[in-house]
Amino acid sequence: MGPKPSKSLGQRLMEWRPLVSIYESRFWRRSGLFARIAGIPFDQELATLSREARLEKARRVLDLACGSGIYTRPFAHRLAHGRVVGLDLSTPMLAQALRRSREEGCGNLDLVRGSALDLPFRSGCFDVVNCCGAVHLFPDVPRALAEIQRVLAPGGRFTAAVFRRGPSEREVRRAEQRERMMGVHAFSREEFEGRLADAGFVAARFPHEHGVWMLAAAEKSAEASV
């Protein structure tokens, strides 16, 4: 998969205010339809990835491509002694995240506009990087994974939810259609596992795979240099 041109339709949607305003509601990310398609309700996804990230041991967490903060805020609430940074490319998403985090009184949450391909953080500064619903939108996945690996501390955890491409002919055909129309790249487990290994991650695991959705977790080796 080579670099993609300009902004995909998928990314333009993420900057479209009407969608941003309903993104977290029961009409989209928390909808029954989304849960059926993904094979997992949002709260269970959050619990699974929090466990894989060993969030209770983290002090510095990056929620990469945080959108409206659907993960960022629960992480901030759970981190009694830590801080969470939410980073996203979409200004409307970040405005929504800011509004909601103020409403919920999250005092340990910072929001940054930036690109996953060029993270504005020093090397080794996060215990956990979480990135949900977004790797499949990145125009250069190897570069984004290299950046995630760079900003993680040795022994740091990476968790993700990505679009999945199942093995059947029908699933492969549908995934190709989605990529052509929306610029959304769906990964087979083998492909994502390979991408993680190429970026230097170890201990890759896939706690959920169903239909078009896959949860993944991996680590930066404790022996890795910062």
Ligand X SMILES: C[S@@+](CC[C@H](N)C(=O)[O-])C[C@H]1O[C@@H](n2cnc3c(N)ncnc32)[C@H](O)[C@@H]1O
Output the DSSP codes for 56-90. Answer: GG-SEEEEET-TTTTTHHHHHHH-TT-EEEEEES-
CB of 80 to ligand X, least distance (A): 23
DSSP H or E run through 94: helix 91-103
Q: Which is nearer to ligand X, 26 or 222 (CB)?
A: 26
Instruction: Indicate the residue whose CB is closest to ligand X.
Output: 67
d(CA 126, CA 199): 17
Phi, psi of 51 (to 5 degrees): -65, -45
Q: Which stretch binds ligand X (CB under 6 A): 83-91, 152-160, 182-190, 215-223?
A: 83-91
Is 93 among the residues that bind ligand X (CB under 6 A)?
yes
Length of the chain: 226
Is 116 among the residues that bind ligand X (CB under 6 A)?
yes
Restricted to residues 15-44, the positions that interact with ligand X (CB under 6 A) are 29
C-alpha dist (Å) from residue 222 to 93, 125, 127: 34, 14, 11
Q: Which is nearer to ligand X, 29 or 220 (CB)?
A: 29
CB of 220 to ligand X, least distance (A): 20
d(CA 136, CA 185): 5
Q: Which of 49, 67, 96, 179 binds ligand X (CB under 6 A)?
A: 67
Phi, psi of 86 (to 5 degrees): -105, 125
Is 115 among the residues that bind ligand X (CB under 6 A)?
yes
x/- letters, 197..226, toward ligand X (CB under 6 A): ------------------------------
d(CA 20, CA 98): 13
Is 66 among the residues that bind ligand X (CB under 6 A)?
yes
Restricted to residues 132-151, the positions that interact with ligand X (CB under 6 A) are 132-134, 137-138
Q: How is the beta sheet containing 213-220 ordered, strand by strand?
A: 109-113, 83-88, 60-64, 126-132, 152-163, 213-220, 201-210
Q: Which is nearer to ligand X, 67 or 74 (CB)?
A: 67
Binding site for ligand X (CB under 6 A): 11, 14, 29, 65-67, 70-71, 88-90, 93, 115-117, 132-134, 137-138
